[in-house]
Amino acid sequence: MAKAKASKLKLSGKRAQSFARLGAFLALIVFVNILGNMAHGRLDLTEENRFTLSEPTVDLLKQLDEPVFVQVLLEGEFPAGFKHLQRSTREMLDDFRNEASSFQGRGKGLSLGQRIKAFFNFLGNDVNLEYEFVDPNLGSVEEINQRREQLAKDGIVPTIFRLKDVEGTEEKLIYPYAIFNYKGRSVPVNLLENQPGLNQDEKINQSVTLLEYKFANAIQKLLLERKRVIAFTTGHGELEELQTKDLSNTLRTYYDVGRFHLDSNYQVPSQIDLLIVAKPRGPFSDRDKFKLDQYVMNGGKILWLIDRLDAELDSLAVRDPFVPTDYPTNLEDLLFKYGARVEPNLVLDLQCSSIPQVIGMQGGNPQIELFPWFYHPVVTPRSDHPIVKGLDQINLFFPSRIDTIRTKTEVAKTILLTTSEYSREQYSPVRLTFDILRYEPDPAQFKKPFLPVAVLLEGQFPSLYENRVTDEMLEGLRQLGMEYKTVSEPTGMLVVSDGDIAANFITNPETRGVMPLGYNRYERRQYANKDFLINSIEYLLDEGGVIEARGKDIKLRLLDTVRAQSQKTLWQLLNIGTPLLFLALFGWGFNYYRKNRFAK
Separation between Cα atoms, residue 549 and residue 347, nearest integer Å: 33
User: With a cut of 70, which residues of the chain have pLDDT below it?
Assistant: 1-15, 18, 32, 34-51, 102-127, 161-171, 195-198, 551-565, 597-600
The pLDDT value recorded for residue 108 is: 44
Q: Which whole-number Å values give the CA distances from 124 to 33, 95, 118, in the listed order?
A: 14, 20, 10
Closest CA to 50 of 103, 92, 80: 92
Separation between Cα atoms, residue 570 and residue 508, nearest integer Å: 62
Residue pair 212/547 in contact by the 8 Å Cβ criterion: no
The pLDDT value recorded for residue 581 is: 83
Closest CA to 347 of 405, 438, 281, 417: 417
Give the distance from CA 95 to its chain's centroid: 20
**pLDDT tens for residues 406-465?**
999 999 999 999 999 999 999 989 899 998 888 888 888 999 999 999 999 999 999 999
Residue pair 211/470 in contact by the 8 Å Cβ criterion: no
The pLDDT value recorded for residue 129 is: 86
Give the distance from CA 585 to its chain's centroid: 54
The residue ranges of every structural domain in the chain are 55-218, 227-547
Separation between Cα atoms, residue 228 and residue 254, nearest integer Å: 8
Q: What is the DSSP string of 523-591?
A: TTEE-SHHHHHHHHHHHHH-SS-GGGGGG---------HHHHHHTHHHHHHHHHHHHHHHHHHHHHHHH
Separation between Cα atoms, residue 377 and residue 393, nearest integer Å: 10
The pLDDT value recorded for residue 596 is: 76
Task: Show Cβ contacts of residue 13 under 8 Å, excluding neighbours closer than 6 positions.
Answer: none
**pLDDT tens for residues 267-306?**
899 899 999 999 999 999 998 999 999 999 999 999 999 9
